[in-house]
Amino acid sequence: MQAVKITDKIYWVGAIDWNIRDFHGYSTNQGTTYNAFLVLDKKTVLIDTVKEPFYEEMKARLLSVLGDKKIDIIICNHAEMDHSGALRKTISDFKPQKVYASTIGVQNIKEQLGQDLQIDPLANGATLDIGEDSFTFLESRMLHWPDSMVALLNKENILFCNDIFGMHYACTQRFDYETNREDWIYEFRKYYANIILPYSKIVGSFLKLVEQKGINPRMICPDHGVIWTKMIPEIIAMYRDFAAQKSKKKAVIVYDTMWGSTAKMAARVVDGLASQGVEAKSFS
């Protein structure tokens, strides 16, 4: 397993789950990825890990870049087990000097993986110098766990955003421009609807905060799916629209019928809606 070079200093070292068909209780017919990223600077930084059964895959990718070097820092943007499940093994094998998470993230990870883990909390707005570059951290609470945060690599202008802007989509391509939009657009919308939708008000506030802080990343790296480069304006616009929850003129008529009379009623309802410019579908 080889790491994938993202920039001169950054590598994708995650794992691909081709076979998963259920995640968070909804179908994942195109599988998923567990994205983790290695940043090479004076200090070597790993951002997130992978689901525990995929540790060996991530480890092989890490070793393809590191050789016999160690990881200096691990940043845990999100405590959910598909991103932190391999953390204990990673700490054991690579012996980082520091492991960081948000304040709530420290609590959650310790509750899941053991109170003996040494993890330092990062306050909202904290910065971390890694040599030539630095990180700035912003809490993104409830997007979609209370511990969630994002990490901006300042000079590189790359945003590592855990589950925000993600989707369950397995592929060998790592960048948006390498893929066919029609292959992933459904999964992108579906992910928001199933994972992020209940927190749409928070999404709107988060997007405003990012804009106020002048954050305009050239690359967005979520923990599931592809890395965004050329399509960043489009996916941010879509998130704004999703968060606004603007209704469209669409309707679904669901009915059951024994003798066909209800089916006739449903057909009349569809015709009535269509006559008013409403796109309607009927299901029995």
Query: Annotated active-site positions, please?
Result: 24, 78, 80, 82, 144, 163, 191, 224
Instruction: Provide the token pair at 250.
Output: 């669409």
| Residue 189 to residue 50: CA distance in whole angstroms | 23
Residue the block writes with tokens 């499940």:
85
Residue (of 140, 152, 148) closest to 104 by Cα position: 148
| Residue 2 to residue 228: CA distance in whole angstroms | 21
Residue (of 50, 78, 48, 74) closest to 148 by Cα position: 78
| Residue 81 to residue 87: CA distance in whole angstroms | 9
Query: Are 228 and 158 a contacting pair, CB within 8 Å?
Result: no
Q: Tell whether the torsion through CA atoms of 98, 99, 101 and 103 is positive or negative.
A: negative
Query: Are 109 and 76 a contacting pair, CB within 8 Å?
Result: yes
The end-to-end CA distance of the chain, in Å, is 48
Query: Are 96 and 67 a contacting pair, CB within 8 Å?
Result: no
Type of residue at 281: K
